[in-house]
Amino acid sequence: MIENRKHLGLAKIGFLCLVVVIWIIPFAASAQEVAVGQATATVQAVLAVTSVQDLNFGNVLQGVPSSADIDVVAEAADFSVTGSGGAEVALYLQLPEYLWNSTNTDRMQISFSSTDCEIDANIGTAATKVAPVVADPYNLPATALHATNNILHVYLAGTVYPAVDQAVGAYSADIVLTAAYTGN
Amino acid sequence: MNAAKHNPSSLKRIFRRGIFYSFLIALLPAMDILAGVLVAPPVVFMSEKGKAGRITVQNPTNAPKEITISLSFGLPESDSLGNVNIFLNDSTVTDPRSCLEWVKAFPRRLIIPANGSQVVRFVAKPPKNLPDGEYWARVVIEAQEGVAGIPMLEADDRITTKLNMVMRTAIALKYRTGDLVASLEMTGAETRIVDSKVEAMLDFTNKGNCSYVGVLACRLLDANNKEVSTFDLHLAVYRQLRRRIELPIVEGEFQAPYRVEVTVTNRGRKDIPPEEMIYGNDITQTLAVES
């Protein structure tokens, strides 16, 4: 019985140590320099672009222009860019002029104004931006990632113009965001 | 007390279970970081000794991703206001430093399953008698969900819309041959006070035969040599580059006239392996701030 209690105690201590060590691993790995004894390795910071939310106009009516609100989570497009904290990232949006139906027989005009984009180098959503900077979506400025959160968000709104005789159907197009470090 | 509960085999089982759950718990903080397609390393280096390069593309999401790999050409360029951008061009590139024509990627289209990864390789077939220096391209990794982006029609009499979000990451590819020289010159500098900050416009010219990759650090000092504010950023100069730096004049007991101390060095870059760095000259210059 005493032997079993000893085993149980050792197992508990071992388990606690393991939990602590495993919790520390991800934080240690996020640092750029990892030193183990005499060896030092450079962990290179990767750049990742993620689509958090699609640009969404919902159902639209013939002849009635419909706009997505840049402050509404369910409407504004939201791209997040993550990488090395503080690093400057060049951003480029390729925007469509039309949405096409599935048979490519009819198209719907879409437009983006010079204030339809906001960049916020903070964690947040379209509705909870911290320090958004209004930008022309056709000429996005290079922006530094947040120094400690390693992130920036690109929010995009726009307007679709269905024609009076717009054919009923499902229309789609691509929005492309390109991100590149300016410092290498 | 139940003896079976505490026998060594039960303890081992508890211990193994503990390890399993601990790993699950440990993965939670990493979920945010692993939200998109990840590409590593951020720069691909190739040379006449190693004409092959590779990147790893990882899909940490729970949905398959369709990936397209392509090569483009684009350098950090600046306008007269010091705004920097990279404009990618994949056709009619006539730049003599472009390696677009003779570097190929394999594979160029792939679908990475959920939580999977794939190595993409690059092979260089440079022309003969290539002059010494560095040759450039950008690897563009395009990712989108591995399902068709056609919207579902909710009713027969409605018009629905769907914008497919396509994500592209462009990383630098550098092919090096012969003797390489990294040399940078600061060819112009202007400073002025705008509102409550000092704006410095710095012009750089690359005098070497490879890109000058380093760190630009600026310190705003007051008349008594007190540090008012600092700014630093990663710098890559391929040919000419104009950078606008803004240094806030923070509140405090600081006295004009101000000075800006500019330092450029290509030591201290932690995102590039030291064996891939081409070390060159450092620049240190102090600029008086015009009121």
Average pLDDT score over residue span B164-176: 93
Question: Residue A170 domain-assigned?
Answer: yes
What element of type H or E holds A22?
helix A2-30
Residue B258 has what pLDDT? Answer: 92
Non-local (6+) Cβ contacts of A62 within 8 A are A162, A163, A164, A165, A166, B159
Closest residue to B234, CB basis, from A26, A87, A141:
A87
Residue A80 has what pLDDT? Answer: 93
Question: Residue A30 domain-assigned?
Answer: no
* CB < 8 Å to A99, chain B: 161-163
* CA dihedral sign, ordered B210, B88, B242, B45: negative
pLDDT single digits (tens) B216-237: 999 999 999 999 999 999 999 9
Number of domains in chain A: 1
Q: Which of B280, B46, B274, B276 is nearest to B177 (CA)?
A: B46
Band (pLDDT 50/70/90 cuts) for residue A161 is: very high
Question: Residue A19 domain-assigned?
Answer: no
Question: Residue A8 domain-assigned?
Answer: no
CATH number of the domain encompassing residue A104: 2.60.40
A interface test, pick of B78, B90, B169 with most A CB neighbours within 10 Å: B169
Question: Residue A9 domain-assigned?
Answer: no
Question: Residue A22 domain-assigned?
Answer: no
Residue B156 has what pLDDT? Answer: 64
Non-local (6+) Cβ contacts of B217 within 8 A are B230, B231, B232, B262, B263, B264, B265
Rounded distance between C-alpha atoms, residue A81 and residue A152, angstroms = 5
Rounded distance between C-alpha atoms, residue A26 and residue B62, angstroms = 20
If contacts are CB pairs under 8 Å, which of residues 131-150 in chain A contact chain B?
140-142, 144
Range of the domain at A156: 48-181
Question: Residue A39 domain-assigned?
Answer: no
Question: Residue A11 domain-assigned?
Answer: no
Band (pLDDT 50/70/90 cuts) for residue B271 is: confident
pLDDT single digits (tens) B1-46: 444 444 555 555 445 444 433 433 343 334 333 346 888 898 999 9
Band (pLDDT 50/70/90 cuts) for residue B71 is: very high
* Beta-sheet strands, E only, within B24-158: 38-40, 43-47, 52-58, 65-72, 76-78, 84-86, 103-106, 109-112, 117-124, 133-145
In percent, the amount of chain B with pLDDT more than 70 equals 83
Residue B34 has what pLDDT? Answer: 37
DSSP string, A121-182: -SS--TTS-SS-EEEBTTBPPPEEPPTTT-EEEEEE-EEEE--TTPPSEEEEEEEEEEEEES
Tell me if chain A has a CB within 8 Å of the CB of B11.
yes
Rounded distance between C-alpha atoms, residue B84 and residue B244, angstroms = 9
pLDDT single digits (tens) B123-167: 999 999 999 999 999 999 998 765 545 555 556 678 899 898 899
Rounded distance between C-alpha atoms, residue B52 and residue B122, angstroms = 5
